[in-house]
Structures are given as structure tokens and as C-alpha cells.
Amino acid sequence: MIIAEESARSAPVTKVFKRTNIILDKGKYRLAKLKGKGNIKEFLLISNSPNYKISIIINNTVIFDDRFDNLRKLSLYLGLLDVITNRNEFIFHLSNLEFNNNFEIILELEEKITFKTIYLIYNIHN
């Protein structure tokens, strides 16, 4: 019977969200709010400043909720997270996160920031 349940599920659909050269003022922004079952293949932020906090919420559980600099230190020990400073670019990257109910990305900016790239690739079951 479990095999029948598995085969009855809908096939995942891959979706891509990409924006370039987005300027955001100081404040709080919800970049993604996905409902249902799926997985985040890749999420990438490239900005001109590290002065922001990012929250990643999976299935109503806060996975990350910290400033760029603190996450950069943590990324040395976590394979799913890359947080890098490269000259004047501040890069936040995560990959391969599964969710069963919901997924959210929230940014809280301490100043006006230009995001050279905001890129999200995910699969979602319809």
C-alpha cells in the first residue's frame, strides 16, 4: 500500500526565480514563501553589503536566523551553507533543503543594499 501512495503523488515542478541589480531600503522583506512539499535546489544572494540578517524557516521551524557575518563563521562547518566575502561582494548560498509543509526566506536589512543577484531554484509538488 505504501507503494501506491508514493506513485499517487504528483510529480514535482521545477521553478526558478531570478532578479538582478535590486536595490532595497533598510527594512524587512519576505523573499520567498512556499507552501506544500518540495525542495530548495539552490538559493543565492550576492550583495554589496553584509549588513543584513537572514531567516530561513522550514516547516515552521527556524533553521537560520542570524547576521551575514555570524553565518559566514558557521558556514565553515555546514555543508549546505556557503557564506563568502569576495572583494566587495557578499555571497550567501545554500542548497539541498527539503520541506514538507512550507519554506520561507526573510531578510532584515540594516541599511540600503544592492543585490547584484537573487536566485532561487526549487522543486514543488502540485
Through-space distance between the first and last CA atoms of the chain, rounded to whole angstroms:
22
Structurally, at CATH architecture level, domain 2-125 sits in Sandwich (2.60)
Segment 110-122 shows an average pLDDT of: 96
pLDDT in tens, 45-99: 999 999 999 999 999 999 999 999 999 998 888 888 999 999 999 999 999 999 9
| pTM for the full predicted model | 0.87
Q: How confident is the model at residue 116 (pLDDT cuts 50, 70, 90)?
A: very high
Contact 103, 34 (CB under 8 A): yes
